[in-house]
């Protein structure tokens, strides 16, 4: 979460928190807090709801409240009775405070999209200082790991490893609730409110007499006249893909960096086995360099477990994406992960092996890139297949038709039939970077390959870079990949 957003939240909630701090515990001015007796019945607390903009605490004045974040100018937001409704503006963050009590917990839920991760928000104390929370969820969904077996109902492996979070689940209010730290007097959501949405807000506050008071309200967000930005995926529903296939989302334009956390926060990825039982998979979203539009990829830390179903929920319609731009559409995707087929080709041994579900099914002599045009070390991914394809290279000056071509990288690397090099396959590297096989062997591999299969080249003199391909996901180390998340 950006420091700009957090500082804005603290500044706004400070005004609300200070009001709570000034609430006397007795009508007698000579009494102090220490002298107050817990046996006295405290008046019911007063809850207030407002909104704050991302830029340094510019507050919303839609409720005829002061827009200043300072206590001397009065409270921000409006008093809201439990069960009431309030209208709020899109593209801002919700502020909740309580007078005459301390917050015990808070929940902000979009009931139309129950898989969205819990918004942990930012708590402040009566002096307006940010409070640390222990073992609280952070946005973006749970990074599922075997160690997190006690975590509530993960919506996905959709956050960085450092962002372990339960997600909103309509089946249990406790899973939507963020527990407040001691002395909490105010809370601000970490993420912008989405236009044309209705949120359910709930909280519990404890008065000085030790009694808990529950609060519920509905926050309705007005529609937006911002220009829509589309989001698409390169995969198709029910497509069967290999274990290295990333989930790829592309946008119709550039998603501004300050809004990427709002987009990513709403995404979830569920992984289940063939019987529909949830599988624990650690993974993360990453914003890759614009090409020229924004690209958002999800990959697991290791390969997907074979014979799984991956379900993606991306409710980004009306989510802010840039100044004057919002998401045009929601998106869902269900793909099947097929068998685990891993190909390895060595520039040293001149062999290409294919392992399927742990069993070696092919071991072919091959020829890789020559010394002047070496193949690239690293994990490639099957991107497409062509029974007939014409290879062209301005650099090397050739135009060559080939059969059974399997593209594994956008730098021109393929696995393909090369009958002209059959005599040296298994002993020399003579290609322009491709993996050469005889026609029969190339056809056998072609028939077995599917989009997303990993192809690992090793023992060459050059390495893949992260800038060369549409699918460079596996070139990044896991730590590097996690840093590309907007939620990290």
Contact 214, 193 (CB under 8 A): no
Q: Which one is catalytic: 297, 380, 416, 432?
A: 416
22 is catalytic: no
Query: Which DSSP category does 278 fall into?
Result: B
Q: Which one is catalytic: 297, 350, 432, 434?
A: 434
Q: Is the peptide bond before 105 cis (omega within 30 degrees of 0)?
A: no
3-state helix, strand, coil in the chain (%, to 5): 10, 35, 50
Establish how many alpha carbons lie within 13 A of residue 416's alpha carbon, considering only the half-sphere containing its beta carbon: 28
Could you tell me how far CA 396 lies from the centroid of its own chain? Answer: 42
Q: How far apart, in whole angstroms, are the C-alpha atoms of residue 158 and residue 298?
A: 8
Gap between the terminal Cα atoms of the chain: 7
- Phi-psi domain of 242 (left: phi exceeds 0; alpha: psi -120 through 50; beta: other): beta
Residue carrying the six token digits 């997190």: 148
Q: Is 127 exposed, middle or buried (0-12, 13-18, 19+ CB in 10 A)?
A: exposed
Contact 126, 18 (CB under 8 A): yes
- Which residue(s) pair with 408 in the sheet? none
Contact 128, 13 (CB under 8 A): yes
434 is catalytic: yes
Q: How far apart, in whole angstroms, are the C-alpha atoms of residue 302 and residue 281?
A: 8
Q: How far apart, in whole angstroms, are the C-alpha atoms of residue 117 and residue 315?
A: 12
Question: Sheet of 198-206: strands edge to edge?
Answer: 84-88, 212-221, 198-206, 102-109, 178-179
Contact 463, 378 (CB under 8 A): yes
DSSP string, 443-462: HHHHHH--TT-EEEEES-SE
**In 3D, which of 440, 482, 72, 34 has the Cα closest to residue 283?**
482
Query: Which DSSP category does 25 fall into?
Result: S
Instruction: Give the residue numbers marked as catalytic.
Output: 416, 434
């Amino acid at each position: 979460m950006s420091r700009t957003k957090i500082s804005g939240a603290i500044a706004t909630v400070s005004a609300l928190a200070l009001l709570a701090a000034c609430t006397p515990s007795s009508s007698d001015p000579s009494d102090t807090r220490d002298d107050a007796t817990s046996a006295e019945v405290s008046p019911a607390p007063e809850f207030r709801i407002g909104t704050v903009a991302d830029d340094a605490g510019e507050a919303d004045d839609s409720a005829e409240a002061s827009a200043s974040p300072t206590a001397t100018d009065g409270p921000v937001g409006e008093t809201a009775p439990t069960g009431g409704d309030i209208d709020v503006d899109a593209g801002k963050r919700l502020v909740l405070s309580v007078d005459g009590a301390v917050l015990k917990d808070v929940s902000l839920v979009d009931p139309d999209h129950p898989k969205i991760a819990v918004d942990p928000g930012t708590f402040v104390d009566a002096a307006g200082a940010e409070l640390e929370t222990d073992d609280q969820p952070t946005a973006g969904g749970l990074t599922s790991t075997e160690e997190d077996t006690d975590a509530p109902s993960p919506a996905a492996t959709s956050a960085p490893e450092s962002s372990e979070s339960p997600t909103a689940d309509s089946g249990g209010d406790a899973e939507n609730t963020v527990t407040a730290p001691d002395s909490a007097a105010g809370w601000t959501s970490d993420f912008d409110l989405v236009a044309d949405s209705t949120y359910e807000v709930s909280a519990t506050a404890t008065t000085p007499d030790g009694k808990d008071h529950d609060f519920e309200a509905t926050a309705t967000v007005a529609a937006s006249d911002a220009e829509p930005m589309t989001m698409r995926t390169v995969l198709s529903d029910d497509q069967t893909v290999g274990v290295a296939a990333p989930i790829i989302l592309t946008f119709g334009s550039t998603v501004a960096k300050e809004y990427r956390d709002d987009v990513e926060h709403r995404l979830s990825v569920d992984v289940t086995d063939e019987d529909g039982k949830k599988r624990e998979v650690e993974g993360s979203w990453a914003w890759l360099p614009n090409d020229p539009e924004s690209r958002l990829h999800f990959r697991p830390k290791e390969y997907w477990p074979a014979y799984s179903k991956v379900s993606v929920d991306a409710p980004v319609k009306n989510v802010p994406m840039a100044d004057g731009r919002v998401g045009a559409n929601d998106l869902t995707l269900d793909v099947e992960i097929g068998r685990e087929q891993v190909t390895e080709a060595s520039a040293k041994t001149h062999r290409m092996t294919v392992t399927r579900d742990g069993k070696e099914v092919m071991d072919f002599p091959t020829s890789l890139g020559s010394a002047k045009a070496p193949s690239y070390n690293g994990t490639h991914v099957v991107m497409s297949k062509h029974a007939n394809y014409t290879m062209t290279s301005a650099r090397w000056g050739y135009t060559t038709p080939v059969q059974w071509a399997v593209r594994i990288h956008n730098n021109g690397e393929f696995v393909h039939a090369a009958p002209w090099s059959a005599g040296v396959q298994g002993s020399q590297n003579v290609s322009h970077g491709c993996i050469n096989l005889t026609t029969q062997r190339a056809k056998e591999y072609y028939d077995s390959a599917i989009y997303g299969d990993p192809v690992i080249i090793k023992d060459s003199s050059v390495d893949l870079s992260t800038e060369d391909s549409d699918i460079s996901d596996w070139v990044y180390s896991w730590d590097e990949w996690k840093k590309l998340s907007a939620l990290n």
